[in-house]
A = this chain, B = another copy of it.
Amino acid sequence: MKPILETDKEFICDIQAPCFQMLSPEEAELVRASKTQVLFRKGDNLTKQGAFASYALFVIKGLAKQYIERDSSKNYNLRIIQPGEFVGLSAVFTKNTFNYSSVAITDCQVFLIEKVVITEVIKQNGEFGFNMIRRYCSQNANLFDTLRTALFKQMNGRMADTLLYLDSLKFQYPDIFQLLSRKDMADFAGISTESAVKLLKNFEKDNLIELHEKDIVLVNYTELQEISKKG
């Protein structure tokens, strides 16, 4: 049986992403030799919270959402993972297991790179390492914002944050809202689905947003930012 997933037309793809451009030919070869490509279908887990992690993932194409799992069926959505981003870096550098789950919200073309290889390349190439750390830090910075929201704000503020965050992706991914259910929105805001539904209706009533089927258009940014700030 011939290898299957790797043979899709669009799938043959080298490591062209900007973050790999700074590698020397030998380093690039190291990565290329050890990497694996996987097509995650919409709904597939890229990472599973608690599972052993011997590799990091680099998303070539497609969108995923990253979340932490609580008791059964309760999640907290952290962020949308975009093409060009790494998933599971912390698993490479520190812990041996993924500390969050992530799931493809569209089909995703993904590289898997074993952590020994990443470690090797970082040690050889300081610039690449610096870049890696920068990425990791910026993910962390966002985590702090998320934490702040989760700890201190209440429904309106949380939902405003969620809307502003997702809207910031809309330029690049116009259908971002269509890809998310009300439960997803609720899980981003950390509130119940029902509350999310009601809040969105309220926001619409107050002319802060417009709801078009699943799509959401932000109308009054200033006010939403205000709500976000007030909490």
Contact = CB atoms under 8 A, between A and B. Distances in A.
Copies of the protein in its oligomer: 2
Interface string A26-50: 0000000000111111011100111
Contacts of A177: none
A112 B51 contact: yes
B45 A48 contact: yes
A215 B231 CA distance: 51
A2 to B, nearest CB: 11
Contacts of A107: 72
Nearest to A7: B71
B43 A43 contact: yes
B40 A114 contact: no
B6 A52 contact: no
A70 B112 contact: no
Interface of A: 4-6, 8, 36-41, 43-45, 48-52, 54-55, 68-73, 97, 107, 112, 114
